[in-house]
Structure 1
């Protein structure tokens, strides 16, 4: 029986953070050696970081990546390792993976299928490598093969599908299998999206089954560069069965998973299937290295108890945002967090995420480990509970006006107390009145609710921003804004008011889902953490901006439309790219409780607000990419700031409703 211990390691890297990236790689190598791993797969571009953007073009970044590779080589003694970096070949830049055996560089595999959709812009920086081509590159004074190559380690043939190479119909692995691959490694940088892990599982399982190989998939971990969260979730499969599944959303610097696989068994499967083997001259490199056999038995890594198949969206949302927030906080070196806590659903969600972040962090790292990772906040060292950590991290402020109610004040105070946050409150009426009086005198008339409704609402929201910014600046803290995706779609937020902040943790999720998630958090909560019952004070309310006089009984849905309708229209119009008449036809049957005339009014309102407010979406604080329906123009959904506003198409909708 020809067994080898196959491993993958997820790494929490940062673009251009050469020393910490190197430290994480070496730590993973040391852990692999201690576990008697034979063959280790590390993520794509893990040396430089995946999210270097246009810095990939810099000669210094390209050269430093090779310099770091040279520093890594001695740490690979006794191992065969694949790890990613940008590589220049014949004056063109490629997304490449180095293959290293026992301290020696053997060659490079270059990615063939670049990711150029959604949040990915790889074709901007890299060239795709042609299938079947093998070239040469000079580094460290020697010439190495590069391109569509495999590696022979003591008779075990190893190939690579680099991330997207495995997601296309004609997978690279199919050709590798035809060339006799025993093991396929997949070094990936695969961003988190809801339920995406199910697709990865299928890719890995089908790869191991259809290609008759053992298959190791690895991934990046954490908030690498600001907007994108990587969930880790490494997978190892052999003969169509998952044999190791790594935990996702870990707060650790790296996560190593491994399993013992039988090369003879996969070869027997391939022989039984009578698959012909095709040899390509020069495409398989002899590593001169015998993969070591493990001498001790170690149980393979198992998934977290909550990470079922399919995973719960509530769990994924809680863990993805918490990890994204944690890494943003530590990598930005902010001195803490500030939230303008209104007593409504959105700000309560963001505050709850800070609480969950500390809960998850303490559960995995312990109090001392969490304090070490957030060393820029020294007061954390004295904390002995999650709530004390929240108190050292987070300050919440309730900024009342005469239009605020006791309900929201009580709700804000209740939530802040429940999670352990510092809570402040003050009244901004004097500031609002000062602005109104100043402008009224300048223009020579009174500003009134009857004639100036929107302006009077907006000045209240804007008057809250300076105090929140001042509070954050006093401690070098990060001001969190609380806008959600539904508000972003229609611009239902005041620029430089409630959008003020350096990070928008929930701008990637719709309001209808947020309201459901808060109920789940009140009653159930994440596995191992449990609920936050005090959220009942939030869930009992009807969402309202509280910007009009109390007598107006303002509600968000009254200003806009029911959130369920808004989100359905948004998906049809923006995700599915339907025109107004098509949107009406797509959503009409879903909402029989509303007349076609009312739906038509709401659809027209959506399109007009969408077009009018693209400039706001361009200016929102960075947000986390949570699903492939994002509206963030910096990472997913591009739309012109100035447009024709769908005038012809909306006229067609009005004509349809009139004729019908």
Structure 2
């Protein structure tokens, strides 16, 4: 039995936060040392931060990363540590994992497969390193090996799969295994998406079994750079068995999990495998050797325990609440905002945003306590006196109900009831005099009265836009972040007033559809996330049909009357945007899912969707940053690109109409 204590570190880093990133790395190293870890894997590009974007190309970024690395080296005595940073070699930039052994850099392993889909743009900054190629580089005052490297530390062989390397069909791990690697380290920056945790767990466990290795997977945590959320997934496996599993969505900025890996058992399993075909290294591809003495260890039994909510039948609701709540706190503190302002209409969207902020506070208090939560925002000294959830929410969240003559008692009561229930600071603005002033001013200028028959859209929009300046002013006065409250379903068809409900510096629910949001609010009302009590007062919101409440009460306006049922809208959106189906194919694909609607009715809604989607791309271009949650995102800056000016699907819709005519 040859036991090696390995560790995976989880870090909540920030791009270009040199001192903060260094200090969190040092904290992780000390935590690992306290757990007797000999080999520690830290996340991808942990020194610079993963989300530096075009700043990666700045020579100053690269040189500063090396300086910070040198500050870290003295703290790695007696350990083997992998640290990520960008490295310039022969005029190209590479995403590298720097292996440090007993305080000295021994080599740089470079990423071979770059993430260039969805929210990732790595090929814009980095070049992929070719498999089985090694070279040397002058780095930090020494000549070091760089490339696709096997490291031999003492008598233990290490190799790397860096994030995307493990997601491709031809994983580097298969080649590493043939060269007798005992441990594979995977430093990652793998963004959160619904259900992604299970995929990661499968490739970690299966990789350790198929390659007959120990596998150490470390990921980032929190809202690192604005849009992507990292769940802090960390795992250690060996020979197909999961040995350690980290806690996801933690409010602690540094975590380390550790486990003992039996190297002799790994080698024996490999020797017994009839399918294993070793490769005898050539002169061009020999391991990089360094001296390291691993301490003798007695076996310690560890039990893998996942958080109870991980196996919940409402896992999507759990993940949504935990991911966005953590992201809101990180966005607030990293932007140095003094809390949030929400224009609380009493409807589902603004209520959902407000509840997420309250959940943020409740999760943080449950995990790290009042003192540590207050310390995360030292620029808000009043938080030092806060003790309860309501104390914190009142300091961090201002909710404003803004009425016009078209507002009703139902929404006003809903807004007030919810704000009181979660502990928010609640205010009311009467903006109707301002709305009437604008109407009269424009009517006087054009020489006619405005009426709902011919001026419906303009009269609706002026109410929403008039609500914007007051909440912006309040946000400015309090140094707070104004949150926009539009959801993805509305973004798809432009059912939002620019400079109205889209006003804000962050749009936290723009990545989620309205149908799920309504379901989630009912879940928050009746069940809530494990460990937190439900917010029963949400019944005042969930009992209402969604309405913009911009027409006179006699119109009995609802969102779904204006658009279509949200379940239908979301199904069309997924088929059209995510799956790239034509109108005709969508009718065939989703029609059977909605048998209670006629063929003609479904066709009308499909046509409406395509027309509105193309017409409103300019709105999506102007949305405040939103969080990425799944592969149905409409954010044009990170996921779903579409021309602002286009043909508007005119030919496709014409063919769709002709095909329906043929079928009748």
TM category (shorter chain) comes to: over 0.9
Aligned mate of 1:505, from 504, 508, 520: 508
Q: Distance in 2 between matches of 1:483 and 1:551?
A: 25
Q: Distance in 1 between matches of 2:511 and 2:47?
A: 29
SS at match of 2:105: strand
Pairing of 1:593-608 with structure 2 (within 5 A): 593-608=596-611
Q: Distance in 1 between matches of 2:553 and 2:661?
A: 37
CA contact (8 A) 2:115 2:123 kept: yes
Pairing of 1:213-232 with structure 2 (within 5 A): 213-232=213-232
Tell me: CA distance 1:296–1:25, structure 2 relative to 1, closer, same or farther (3 Å): farther
SS at match of 1:306: helix
| 1:302-345 alpha-carbon deviations (Å, 9 max, x no partner) | 33221228870010000000010000000000011100000000
> Is 1:446 the equivalent of 2:449?
yes
Aligned mate of 1:638, from 616, 621, 641: 641
> Is 1:542 the equivalent of 2:540?
no
Aligned to 1:64: 64
Aligned to 1:248: 248
TM-score by length of 1: 0.99
Q: Distance in 2 between matches of 1:298 and 1:311?
A: 32
Aligned to 1:327: 330
SS at match of 2:128: coil
Aligned to 1:469: 472
1:298 to partner: Cα distance: 7.5
1:469 to partner: Cα distance: 0.2
Aligned to 1:456: 459
SS at match of 1:145: strand
Aligned mate of 2:428, from 425, 430, 435: 425
1:478 to partner: Cα distance: 0.2
Q: Distance in 2 between matches of 1:374 and 1:319?
A: 20
Tell me: CA distance 1:305–1:375, structure 2 relative to 1, closer, same or farther (3 Å): same
1:154 to partner: Cα distance: 1.3
> Is 1:365 the equivalent of 2:368?
yes
1:290 to partner: Cα distance: 2.0
SS at match of 2:405: coil
Q: Distance in 2 between matches of 1:76 and 1:283?
A: 25
Q: Distance in 2 between matches of 1:252 and 1:293?
A: 31
Tell me: CA distance 1:481–1:263, structure 2 relative to 1, closer, same or farther (3 Å): same
Aligned to 2:344: 341
Tell me: CA distance 1:309–1:6, structure 2 relative to 1, closer, same or farther (3 Å): farther
Aligned to 2:396: 393
> Is 1:80 the equivalent of 2:83?
no
SS at match of 2:36: coil
Q: Distance in 2 between matches of 1:250 and 1:520?
A: 22
Q: Distance in 1 between matches of 2:579 and 2:435?
A: 42
Aligned to 1:490: 493
SS at match of 1:450: coil
1:540 to partner: Cα distance: 0.5
CA contact (8 A) 1:397 1:425 kept: yes
Aligned to 1:17: 17
Aligned to 2:183: 183
Q: Distance in 1 between matches of 2:282 and 2:465?
A: 66
Pairing of 1:35-434 with structure 2 (within 5 A): 35-274=35-274, 275-278=276-279, 279-281=281-283, 282-294=285-297, 297=300, 299=302, 302-308=305-311, 312-434=315-437
1:136 to partner: Cα distance: 1.1
> Is 1:4 the equivalent of 2:1?
no
Tell me: CA distance 1:417–1:310, structure 2 relative to 1, closer, same or farther (3 Å): closer
1:295 to partner: Cα distance: 6.0
SS at match of 2:308: coil
Q: Distance in 2 between matches of 1:625 and 1:647?
A: 31
Aligned to 1:551: 554
> Is 1:658 the equivalent of 2:652?
no
CA contact (8 A) 1:400 1:428 kept: yes
Q: Distance in 1 between matches of 2:182 and 2:97?
A: 18
1:293 to partner: Cα distance: 3.7
Q: Distance in 2 between matches of 1:69 and 1:448?
A: 67
Residue segments in structure 2 that go unaligned for 5+ positions in a row: none
CA contact (8 A) 2:3 2:298 kept: no
TM-score by length of 2: 0.98
273-282 vs 476-485, greater mean Cα deviation? 273-282
CA contact (8 A) 2:3 2:299 kept: no
Tell me: CA distance 1:155–1:311, structure 2 relative to 1, closer, same or farther (3 Å): farther
Tell me: CA distance 1:536–1:610, structure 2 relative to 1, closer, same or farther (3 Å): same
1:137 to partner: Cα distance: 1.0
Tell me: CA distance 1:300–1:153, structure 2 relative to 1, closer, same or farther (3 Å): farther
SS at match of 1:252: coil
SS at match of 2:310: coil
SS at match of 1:233: coil
Kindly report the root-mean-square deviation, in angstroms, between the aligned alpha carbons of the 2 structures. 1.1
Tell me: CA distance 1:293–1:447, structure 2 relative to 1, closer, same or farther (3 Å): farther
577-586 vs 467-476, greater mean Cα deviation? 577-586
Q: Distance in 2 between matches of 1:378 and 1:588?
A: 56
Q: Distance in 2 between matches of 1:257 and 1:530?
A: 29
CA contact (8 A) 1:318 1:526 kept: yes
| 1:628-647 alpha-carbon deviations (Å, 9 max, x no partner) | 11000111100000000000
1:584 to partner: Cα distance: 1.2
Q: Distance in 1 between matches of 2:422 and 2:282?
A: 62
CA contact (8 A) 2:260 2:299 kept: no
1:300 to partner: Cα distance: 5.7
1:475 to partner: Cα distance: 1.0
Q: Distance in 2 between matches of 1:601 and 1:311?
A: 34
